[in-house]
Amino acid sequence: MTTETKSPELLSLFQLGDLKLSNRVVLAPLTRARAGAERMPNDLMAEYYSQRSSAGLLITEATVISKQGIGWINSPGIYSKEQGEAWKKIVGAVHDKGSKIFLQLWHCGRASHSAFHGGEQAVAPSAIKLNGEYIHTPEGKKDYEIPRELETDEIPRIVEDYKQAASRAKEAGFDGVEIHSANGYLIDQFLQSKTNKRADRYGGSLENRFCFLQEIVNAATEVWPANRVGVRLSPNGNFNDMGSEDYRETFTYVASQLDKVGLAYLHVVDGLAFGFHELGEPMTLQDFRKVFSGSMMGNCGYTQETAEIAIKEKRADLIAFGRPYISNPDLVDRFRNDWPLAPDADMDVWFSFEKEGYTDFKFYT
């Protein structure tokens, strides 16, 4: 790092548990849909992650833990031994560049469709339909459907799926795992009162709604040390038809309980660029700092300048960048050298399923 950089905090070394990161820039998890119909990690994905390995930490795109968890075309999986083996080339490519990489664990819950499941309904904590325009499926655009409410005795099987996925991630050489509890997917659906109307021990009170995530964290920390497990939350988001009146109470409680675990980090989508439910004032990283004492990661809409300020003011320890990393694979070098950023990529090529809009963005010259 040169002394002339205008981001001395953002580009400084950071000790994340027992991992030494070369800077505080994180590649945010970005669903890029290049794993094919078999959901198999591949050489193209290895090239993509390798290109962006100047980040201190990379978090993979959301990766489904089971066939039941699928809800996105061509997203990768880690529910088979073959998939676990295939991830090794990606982990190796990142490690060869001197960076660290966590695998994000995912179950879509109601944000799915029967077209992904041979005609079987998607599952959710409660049978409440997602109010959205449409979902992309293998059969084209479809209307969202009413999901099937999970039986109480089915839930331990899903927790076990998370544990097995965490174990495969460890065998593949990942440095840790992130539990995707944000953006209206299954865990978030359990956490929020809008989507969880259950009458069993997984619904009703805050304590009960937190129970599913707590069991998953406990399962993951049977495989990994707690300081190699992160959790992602989106307290302000309306993506996938989310947003509950008691969001402040809910996410303050969740963060306070997670503080007891000794996690690697709490990853909070605090920015509003991904949508805001407008049910009150947005929750900030300062709100979470009051109840969570571990490493904090901010995300969504940050620029180099705002990221530097957030770290300097100790609101965040790490900042995850999403869209800027799509068209700027050398984002850290651009920050370090004050080089201009390439314009955001056209969304039409984000999910081309090929190298276009994925690995063909140029490094700065």
Domain holding 47, by residue range, is 14-349
Instruction: Tell me the pLDDT of the chain (365 aa) as tens digits.
Output: 444 788 999 999 999 999 999 999 999 999 999 999 999 999 999 999 999 999 999 999 999 999 999 999 999 999 999 999 999 999 999 999 999 999 999 999 999 999 999 999 999 999 999 999 999 999 999 999 999 999 999 999 999 999 999 999 999 999 999 999 999 999 999 999 999 999 999 999 999 999 999 999 999 999 999 999 999 999 999 999 999 999 999 999 999 999 999 999 999 999 999 999 999 999 999 999 999 999 999 999 999 999 999 999 999 999 999 999 999 999 999 999 999 999 887 777 777 788 999 999 999 98
Q: Is residue 364, in this structure, part of any structural domain at all? A: no
DSSP reduced 3-state for 326: helix
Cα–Cα distance for residue pair 61/168, rounded to 1 Å:
16
* Active-site entry in 48, 49, 185, 253: 185
Handedness of CA 171, 174, 179, 183 (dihedral sign): negative
Q: Is residue 1, in this structure, part of any structural domain at all? A: no
Nearest to 108 by CA among 176, 48, 187: 187
Cα–Cα distance for residue pair 156/98, rounded to 1 Å:
37
Contact (Cβ atoms closer than 8 angstroms) between residue 240 and residue 130: yes
Q: Is residue 362, in this structure, part of any structural domain at all? A: no
pTM to 2 decimals?
A: 0.97
Domain CATH number, residue 243: 3.20.20.70
Cα–Cα distance for residue pair 43/76, rounded to 1 Å:
13
Q: Is residue 329, in this structure, part of any structural domain at all? A: yes
> How many structural domains does the chain have?
1
Q: Is residue 191, in this structure, part of any structural domain at all? A: yes
Nearest to 76 by CA among 112, 52, 105, 47: 105
Q: Is residue 76, in this structure, part of any structural domain at all? A: yes
Is 185 tagged catalytic?
A: yes
Q: What is the CB neighbour count within 10 angstroms for residue 179?
A: 26
> For 13, left (φ over 0), alpha (ψ -120 to 50), or beta?
beta
Q: How far apart are the first and last CA of the chain?
A: 19
